[in-house]
Chains A and B, each alone.
Chain A
């Protein structure tokens, strides 16, 4: 395995009462990249995220982050090491304002010294949330909530962001804005691992694609090569015209 990788997943498997959600998945993520995981519904993408963040314990295999084994570690310990997650179904602290939400991320997250106010502001700026800073989270639209998810995750000063379908259910304008935010996240030095269904966005933003089907990794490479892979087309993409 590549020791320069920020995240290494080695032979990861997870079964739910005999049903294999993930089986023998291995890959390594280079720092500073945007890698997308795609695959049909039920392919195991969310399970993979749950395993990496410690929300679920794997049946077999290991996850290493910055060359440190994190398999089976408590979720909050993994966050302290520098992994953050933005949920598909946004989970804001509803009674708190946008600023207070992001501030919780800045107060906790990765261990070490921090400037809470500056980090909070930076997180909101990155996700273009400054004009909404004092609005209660419960008053945001779906698109704004996705931005809040990213802002709060970035405020933890994480080195790796797991973004779970940040564009799902967004209109084209909102999708473009979200892709822009993810690019900015990457240019701020954060590695991004993305699960996304919106193929044009994925093709546009990703350095690399991983394709999951029925819990196994069936393709791994640059987006345009993967998109031509017959196995991938058969499993997920359908007719090649979709991509053109």
Chain B
């Protein structure tokens, strides 16, 4: 709906960026391929989070729940079929992880989406911690013991390169889904929910159904990314997938890039991962302090994130329009 950029140049820019990113593993040293992996994975997560948190304004502080549930569901499913060819393992894992996240999110959506604002955010943190505790303490899930994931990368390919491209493809798919949602009637409905939920309902927006749908889509995409993440780690425990720093980062990506925008989470994820992993990583303990300081400054000085800053520098059509 917002036509700040015309569609054709932005499509070209995205294609160029994707082409550039795709060439990454061919030219970058291994350390940067790993950083790139993390950037792409984080961008995908940020986009998935943004469908609910950005578009509908329901900022979740517990999306790591779906990373963890997706990862463990996939691991348990794949380990129950040890004879399956590696070619079929990832699809099986994705099906199990995505399906479990769909069921879990649909089940918690009804009570939890009645909460708004901070209450919703904190309730999601609760969901994340409950899932983590269950995974850790119920023997069936093997959360404290850990789960092994069979290697899935083709033998001809460096696993790091393989996962880099896998994250790139996954991130692109999530971007396309988010883009389609944003330009649809569903997306306009989510936007109206973010702006004023009661008014939206009064105008005929099926707010309850839309919120639930956005929640499930966001959760399933997050869970699928969690499945990929688990494979790239090769071995997971509860602590490696249910991470509170992920819970926090997902909000920060959107804040940093531009809350509620399509590309905001991508820009935020790229920036934050690059800054923490490359620029500040050498500063050891100092880097957490510096990251925190940077965030505070950014939120204070550019509350609309990077995209908000760019927009504020461009003249608005509305300001030029005649007064009456």
Contacts and interface: CB of A to CB of B under 8 A. Distances in A.
A72 to B, nearest CB: 15
Interface in A77-101: 79-80, 84-85, 87, 91, 93-97, 100
Interface string A45-82: 00000000101000000000000000000111001100
Contacts of B199: 87, 91, 93
B1 A85 contact: no
B116 interface: no
Nearest to A116: B185
A123 to B, nearest CB: 12
Interface in A95-132: 95-97, 100, 103-105, 107-111, 131-132
Nearest to B260: A95
Interface in B186-223: 188-189, 191-192, 195-196, 198-208
B318 A134 contact: yes
A55 B195 contact: no
Contact of B203 (A74, A96, A131, A156): A156
A110 B204 contact: yes
A156 B204 CA distance: 8
Contacts of A84: 202-203
A108 B204 contact: yes
Given A131-B324, A139-B318, A79 B196 contact: no
Counting chain B CB atoms within 10 Å of each CB, which of A55, A96, A153 scores highest? A96
B322 interface: yes
Given A79-B202, A79-B204, A152-B203, A107 B185 contact: yes
B321 interface: yes
A56 B206 CA distance: 17
B321 A135 contact: yes
Contacts of B205: 76, 104, 108
Contacts of B2: 100
B196 A103 contact: no
A133 B199 CA distance: 20
A136 interface: yes
B318 A97 contact: yes
Interface residues of A, number: 35
A100 B318 CA distance: 13
Contacts of B188: 103-104, 107
A74 B205 CA distance: 11
B303 to A, nearest CB: 12
Interface in A149-173: 152-153, 156
B317 interface: yes
Contacts of A93: 191-192, 195-196, 199
A111 B185 CA distance: 13
A85 B206 CA distance: 16
Contact of A131 (B1, B200, B208, B321): B321
A110 B203 CA distance: 9
Nearest to B195: A93
B321 A104 contact: no
B157 to A, nearest CB: 45
Contact of B196 (A55, A85, A91, A107): A91
Interface in B301-324: 316-318, 321-322, 324
Nearest to A136: B318
A80 B1 CA distance: 23
Interface in A198-237: none
A103 B3 CA distance: 14
A96 B1 CA distance: 9
A216 B188 CA distance: 41
Interface in B24-46: none
A134 B317 contact: yes
B192 A104 contact: yes
Contacts of A104: 188-189, 191-192, 200, 203, 205
A55 B199 CA distance: 11
A110 B2 CA distance: 24
Contacts of A91: 196, 198-199
Given A76-B206, A91-B198, A104-B188, 14 more contacts: A74-B201, A76-B201, A76-B202, A76-B203, A79-B201, A93-B191, A96-B195, A107-B188, A108-B185, A131-B321, A133-B321, A134-B317, A135-B318, A136-B316
Give the 9 A-B CB pairs with smallest separation, nearest first.
Answer: A79-B204, A93-B195, A108-B204, A135-B318, A91-B199, A109-B204, A75-B201, A76-B201, A104-B192
12 contacts: A55-B198, A74-B201, A76-B206, A91-B198, A104-B188, A104-B191, A105-B203, A108-B200, A108-B205, A131-B324, A139-B318, A156-B203
